Amino acid sequence: MPVTRAEKNVTITHGSSSATIYFFGATLTSWIVDGREMIFVSSKALLDGSKAVRGGIPLVFPHFGTVETSRLPQHGFARNSVWELGPVTETAEETTVALSLTPGQVPFALATLWPKKFQATYSVTLNGRDGKLRTSLQVTNTDSEPWEFTALLHTYFATPDVRTTGVQGLTGFPFTDKVAGGLRVEAETRDRVTIAGEVDRIYHGVKSEEVVIDAEGKNLVSIRTNLPDIVVWNIWTKAKDMADMGDEDYKHYICVEAGSVSKFITLKPQESWEGHQILASL
Ligand code: BG6
C-alpha cells in the first residue's frame, strides 16, 4: 500500500481507501472507505498548528477535560504537539504508520505544567481489504516516579445529518451528563441515543461488543474498543460561538470518543498502557 509523506502529514492509500494523519497532534483528518469520507473536519478548522484541529481524531492525553489538580488546558497537550513519524510496517493486508511523542516535542509552556517523562506511540493501521481503521495509543512511563493520566481518542464522525443520527450499544450503561451540570444517571434506557440538542455525556464502563452509529436509517460505522468509556458530544447551535466551527457544521458530525476517563490510571516506572479502537464502515 503506498505511503505518501508530505510536509505536514502522511497518507496511506489503498485503491479507493485511504487515511491521512497530521504530524501536528498526530491527528487523523481523513479516513476514506470506497470513496466515502468517514471523518468530519470543521469548515473552519485550522490545520497550521496554531490550535488543536477541530475535527478528525485529536488525541487526548495526559488528561481528559479540565482537572482541578492540573494547570494543563482542557484535554492535555498531545493534540497540540508535533509528533514524529516513525516506522511504516506492512503485511499482505495492512499498513501501519507509527508516530511518537516524548516531552521534548511538547510546547515548552505546556510541558512545564506536566513535567513527567513519558514515551507515547500512536499507530494507525489501514486494512486494504476491508478498509477498517485501527488507531492505537501506547504510553510508557519512562520516569523514576509513578504518574497518573487519562486518555481518549476524540473521534469526530461525519454524518449526513446529526438530527437523524443515532448511537446504538450504550443501553443500560451509567452516564454523566455534562450538559446537566455533571448529573449522574444510573442507566441509559434508550436503544438508540439520538441528538436533538447539545449532548455531552460520558458513558462509563461500556462493555458493548460494538457501538454502531447510524443516520438516515442506515448504519454508518461501528466501533470496537478495549477502552472502558464512551463520550458522546455534539455542540449543537452553540457552534456559532466557536471560532473554528462553521455555524451549521454541527449538523454534520457526531463525536463518539473511546477513552479511559472515568478514573485516573497509574503507571509505575517502565510500565506501559495501550488503548485502541477499530472502526469499520458499514
Ligand atoms: C468533549 C468534551 O470530549 O470535547 C466536551 O466532553 C468538550 O465537554 C469537547 O466541549 C470539545 O472540547 P474542545 O476542547 O476541543 O473544545
pLDDT for 1 equals 72
* Euclidean distance between CA atoms 120 and 80, whole angstroms: 14
Task: Report the separation in Å between the CA atom of 95 and the middle of ligand 1, taken as the mean of its atom positions.
Answer: 30
Cell 510508557, located at residue? 140
pLDDT for 15 equals 86
Using an 8 Å Cβ cutoff, are 34 and 27 in contact?
A: no
Q: Which residues of the chain register pLDDT less than 70?
A: none
pLDDT for 187 equals 98
Residue having the nearest C-alpha atom to atom 9 of ligand 1: 233
Query: What's this model's pTM, rounded to 2 decimal places?
Result: 0.98
Catalytic positions are 154, 257
Residue having the nearest C-alpha atom to atom 4 of ligand 1: 233
Cell 481518542, located at residue? 153
* Euclidean distance between CA atoms 138 and 123, whole angstroms: 8
